[in-house]
Amino acid sequence: MKGFWKLAWVEIKIYLRQPEAAFFTLVFPMLLLFLFGSIYGNKPSPFFGGRGMVDVSTPAYLAMIIGSTGLMSIAITVSSHREKGVLRRYRATPLRPATVLASQVIVHFLMTLFGGILLIASARLVYGLRFEGRSLDVLLGFTLSTLSFFAVGFLLASVAKTARAANILGMVLYFPNLFLSGATIPKQTFPQAVKAVSKFIPLTHVVDLLQGLWIGDSLGKHLLEIGVLAGLLVVGVAVSAMAFRWE
């Protein structure tokens, strides 16, 4: 893994220099938190099963961050690196191809984690966020969800011929995932028809898994979500491995 950490560190710095990427990962979730937090507060309500709005929304916003780094950041970074010839230039060095891809995974994982920690810390400090789950289970669920969506991001970068196409594909997938999964608008407010559609949206399973683990569900209670996300991971990796091009 020669060059791995240095490459990852440089890519993190580059990530933070791009305002739009940093905005969706770090700033936007907090804006939503403060917007809805200031409207509804975090008082326990029967509508949210005896919990507050922030208690229910925070794990959902985690899912939103995962969706944005997976469907947008990974797909756009990798495809634009390819389009511009950055991957080509790396290929002319002894750097292993796996190192290049692994560094993208670790960089985006750390950025997603960083965005999540910022969000949780703000929710805790400002609205007294309650946590009833097990940290390790939440971390496991978060990691599986993140890797699954990263695999989809790599898939998009593999099938899209240009960075622009990857960008459009990412957006077309990102926004339905964002609004129909319960990641932004609580699912409790959805009409029946939308709830039915929501079951077929991949990010819904991330929202359900993280919200469940957050209030203390066992991993075993969410085998459906875990199965769907693991399947997404396998398909994403398999298709990317076949279709990925360096130039």
Residues 6+ apart with CB under 8 A from 22: 15, 16
Of the two residues 46 and 94, which places its CB atom closer to other proteins in the complex? 94
**Per-residue mark of binding to other proteins, 3-42 (x: CB under 8 A):** x--xx--xx-xx--xx------------------------
Name the token pair of 107: 């960089």
Name the token pair of 90: 């790396």
Task: Write down the least CB distance from residue 95 to other proteins, Å.
Answer: 5
- Helix 97-127 vs helix 75-84: angle between axes, to the nearest 10 degrees? 140
Of the two residues 86 and 230, which places its CB atom closer to other proteins in the complex? 86
Residues 6+ apart with CB under 8 A from 244: 154, 157, 158
What is the spatial distance between Cα 146 and Cα 179, in angstroms, rounded to a whole number?
18
Task: Write down the least CB distance from residue 166 to other proteins, Å.
Answer: 16
Given 2, 43, 161, 164, the residue binding other proteins (CB under 8 A):
2
Amino acid of residue 136: L
Total residues binding other proteins (CB under 8 A): 22
Q: Is 245 in the site for other proteins (CB under 8 A)?
A: no
- Give the dihedral sign, CA 221/227/232/233: positive
Given 52, 54, 61, 81, the residue binding other proteins (CB under 8 A):
81
Of the two residues 86 and 110, which places its CB atom closer to other proteins in the complex? 86
The binding site for other proteins (CB under 8 A) comprises 2-3, 6-7, 10-11, 13-14, 17-18, 81, 84-86, 88-89, 91-96
